[in-house]
């Protein structure tokens, strides 16, 4: 295999990518023509619709309502699950500042698999749709938003496989042609301390980067593990509800949990890895009560990414209790090393050292907080809103899809036991959940359980280039 990916960062133009991959009929109709900007100079009301009312969606809505520069109002909300929608409504109302900017009566609270359409139908061109449903639905929701001429903020990951990644690249181009602004929830790129570190690294303060290391190792969180489906809920609803447990819905814990470290280390390198090899395993797959977990995740992952210049990036992930927790990232260069994230997805402070040992005596720089800009989740919204209100070009789709692909590349390498290249994952034919734009309450789930309620799991070395 060629070590150069089909879409190397900063090399292949978007036009050449589209030419090489071909137009998708479902997307080409969306291209349209450029529309004039709607919200100029901060003078107009911007309306917001929230699609996906879990914790991250609720947080994104609150951050949208906290932006400055002009009036803004949340006017519609949508979720598959009524209880989750109501929980989000009540949570936002408990914040006095957010509650003052909410106008979401019962007739603009929508549930069901078509609720995303109803929520976006409440908006006018130039308003904003927030997408925080499971990642598998990104392309479906994004396509509808482009048809409605809406600006978009979408959570990460934005894809979980190659076919939907190609679709999202095309949709990103269609959004640009309609002058739409699109933010992606990879908030590390809006962490001011990481912006400063990236500048210093790319200016050569560390010399040539020779190694990157990333770790996210802690106990189970989210819907990492799942027991067999209980009675009283459909198979489809169960898989959507516990999306971290199912590869089709989220890319599993690897894609959903680990993407931030993959993203900011690629950013520091100013490139994307071109191939990956890795391993992982399932260990304690029973609850304390002796019930067997049936999700598709590995408990541990160890992936080695390789860049086109041969530089290695190693990533270790673990969701197990009682082990040593490490949640941080590092750079090593010919002139020293850097702590990128001290703790968490992008935790400050970042620091640079003149040796390969992070001793205080060897520190040559440490980031400082910028008052009022300490929260990268708020920063990403502030940056998007400035672009919308001042009609500045703004699209994070391409980098968001590339990062999602690279993350999936590492996951696929561990799940198959094969070396996987960027081209392999991008051009693969395994769309894990085709036809999601046609999904209804009565549809079958994309993944089928056996008679014991167990789902297919990755079997490295046994299933070729298929993850399950």
CB 74 within 8 A of CB 51: no
Using the predicted structure, report yes or no on whether residue 91 has a pLDDT greater than 70: yes
Using the predicted structure, report yes or no on whether residue 100 has a pLDDT greater than 50: yes
pLDDT band at 394 (very low <50, low <70, confident <90, very high): very high
Task: Give residue-wise pLDDT tens across range 278-336.
Answer: 999 999 878 778 889 999 999 999 999 999 999 999 999 999 999 999 999 999 999 99
Using the predicted structure, report yes or no on whether residue 22 has a pLDDT greater than 60: no
Domain that holds residue 287: 192-370+406-426
445: in domain:
no
Task: Give residue-wise pLDDT tens across range 356-369.
Answer: 999 999 999 999 99
254: in domain:
yes
Q: Looking at the structure, do residues 179 and 258 belong to the same domain, yes or no?
A: no
CB 189 within 8 A of CB 263: yes
User: The domain spanning residue 126 has which CATH number?
Assistant: 3.40.50.720
448: in domain:
no
Within 370-468, residue ranges assigned H as helices are 376-389, 397-416, 422-427
314: enclosing H helix or E strand: strand 312-319
Q: Looking at the structure, do residues 262 and 315 belong to the same domain, yes or no?
A: yes
Q: Looking at the structure, do residues 174 and 307 belong to the same domain, yes or no?
A: no
Task: Give residue-wise pLDDT tens across range 130-186.
Answer: 999 999 999 999 999 999 999 999 999 999 999 999 999 999 999 999 999 999 999
- In the chain, the percentage of residues whose pLDDT exceeds 90 is 88
Mean pLDDT of the 367-381 span: 97
Q: Looking at the structure, do residues 304 and 385 belong to the same domain, yes or no?
A: no
DSSP string covering 67-103:
--SS-EEEEEEEES-HHHHHHHHHHHHTSHHHHTTB-
Q: Looking at the structure, do residues 148 and 124 belong to the same domain, yes or no?
A: yes
pLDDT band at 11 (very low <50, low <70, confident <90, very high): very low
332: in domain:
yes
pLDDT band at 25 (very low <50, low <70, confident <90, very high): very low
According to the model, what pLDDT value does residue 39 have?
Answer: 54
Q: Looking at the structure, do residues 222 and 149 belong to the same domain, yes or no?
A: no
Using the predicted structure, report yes or no on whether residue 33 has a pLDDT greater than 90: no
136: in domain:
yes
225: in domain:
yes
Task: Give residue-wise pLDDT tens across range 219-228.
Answer: 999 999 999 9
Q: Looking at the structure, do residues 184 and 199 belong to the same domain, yes or no?
A: no
Q: Looking at the structure, do residues 180 and 138 belong to the same domain, yes or no?
A: yes
CA distances to 52, 147, 407, 450 from 303, in Å: 31, 39, 10, 30
According to the model, what pLDDT value does residue 274 have?
Answer: 98
- Bridge partners of residue 353, in order along the sequence: 337, 363
Using the predicted structure, report yes or no on whether residue 24 has a pLDDT greater than 90: no
Q: Which residue has the higher pLDDT, 35 or 140?
A: 140
- Looking at the structure of the chain, the number of domains it has is 2
451: in domain:
no
Using the predicted structure, report yes or no on whether residue 128 has a pLDDT greater than 70: yes
User: The domain spanning residue 360 has which CATH number?
Assistant: 3.30.360.10
Q: Looking at the structure, do residues 112 and 202 belong to the same domain, yes or no?
A: no
Show Cβ contacts of residue 305 under 8 Å, excluding neighbours closer than 6 positions: 262, 273, 275, 276, 312, 313, 314, 315, 406, 409, 410
Count of residues making up the chain: 468
Mean pLDDT of the 13-30 span: 38
Q: Looking at the structure, do residues 349 and 388 belong to the same domain, yes or no?
A: no
Q: Looking at the structure, do residues 116 and 56 belong to the same domain, yes or no?
A: yes
pLDDT band at 14 (very low <50, low <70, confident <90, very high): very low
According to the model, what pLDDT value does residue 452 have?
Answer: 86
Show Cβ contacts of residue 34 under 8 Å, excluding neighbours closer than 6 positions: 177, 178, 179
According to the model, what pLDDT value does residue 1 have?
Answer: 40
CB 327 within 8 A of CB 218: yes
359: in domain:
yes
Q: Looking at the structure, do residues 296 and 420 belong to the same domain, yes or no?
A: yes
């Amino acid at each position: 295999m060629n070590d150069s990916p089909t879409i190397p960062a900063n090399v292949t133009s978007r036009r050449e990518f589209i030419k090489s991959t071909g137009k998708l009929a479902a997307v080409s109709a969306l291209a349209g023509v450029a529309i004039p900007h709607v919200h100029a100079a901060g003078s107009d009301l911007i309306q917001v619709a929230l699609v996906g009312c879990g914790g991250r969606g609720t947080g994104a809505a609150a951050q949208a309502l906290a932006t400055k520069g002009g009036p803004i109002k949340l006017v519609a909300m949508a979720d598959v699950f009524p209880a989750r929608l109501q929980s989000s409504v009540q949570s936002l109302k408990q914040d006095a500042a957010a509650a003052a900017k909410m106008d979401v009566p019962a007739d603009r609270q929508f549930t069901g698999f078509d609720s995303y359409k109803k929520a976006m139908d409440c908006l006018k061109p130039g308003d904003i749709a927030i997408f925080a449903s499971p990642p598998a639905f990104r392309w479906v929701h994004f396509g509808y938003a482009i048809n409605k001429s809406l600006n978009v903020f979408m959570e990460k990951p934005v894809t979980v496989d190659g076919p939907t990644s190609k679709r999202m690249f095309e949709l990103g181009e269609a959004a640009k042609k309609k002058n739409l602004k699109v933010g992606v929830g990879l908030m590390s790129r809006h962490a001011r301390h990481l912006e400063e570190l990236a500048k210093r690294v790319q200016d050569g303060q560390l010399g040539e980067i020779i190694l990157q290391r990333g770790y996210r190792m802690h106990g189970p969180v989210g819907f990492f593990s799942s027991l067999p489906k209980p009675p009283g809920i459909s198979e489809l609803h169960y898989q959507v509800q516990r999306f971290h447990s199912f590869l089709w819905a989220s890319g599993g814990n690897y894609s959903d949990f680990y993407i931030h470290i993959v993203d900011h280390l690629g950013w520091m390198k100013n490139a994307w890895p071109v191939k990956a090899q890795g391993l992982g395993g399932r260990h304690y797959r029973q609850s304390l009560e002796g019930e067997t977990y049936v999700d598709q995740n590995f408990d541990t992952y160890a992936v080695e990414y390789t860049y086109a210049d041969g530089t290695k990036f190693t990533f270790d992930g673990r969701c197990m209790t009682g082990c040593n927790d490490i949640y941080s990232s590092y750079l090593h260069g010919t002139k020293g090393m850097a702590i990128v994230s001290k703790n968490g997805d992008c935790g400050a402070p970042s620091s640079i050292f003149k040796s390969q040992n992070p001793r205080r005596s060897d520190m040559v720089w440490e980031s400082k907080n910028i008052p009022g800009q300490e929260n990268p989740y708020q920063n990403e919204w502030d940056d998007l809103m400035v672009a919308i209100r001042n009609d500045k070009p703004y699209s994070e789709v391409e980098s968001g899809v590339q990062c999602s692909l690279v993350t999936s590349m590492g996951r696929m390498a561990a799940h198959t036991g094969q070396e996987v290249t960027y081209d392999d994952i991008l051009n693969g034919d395994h769309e894990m959940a085709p036809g999601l734009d046609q999904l209804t309450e009565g549809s079958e789930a994309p993944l089928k359980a056996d008679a014991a309620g167990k789902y297919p799991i990755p079997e490295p070395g046994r299933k070729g280039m298929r993850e399950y």
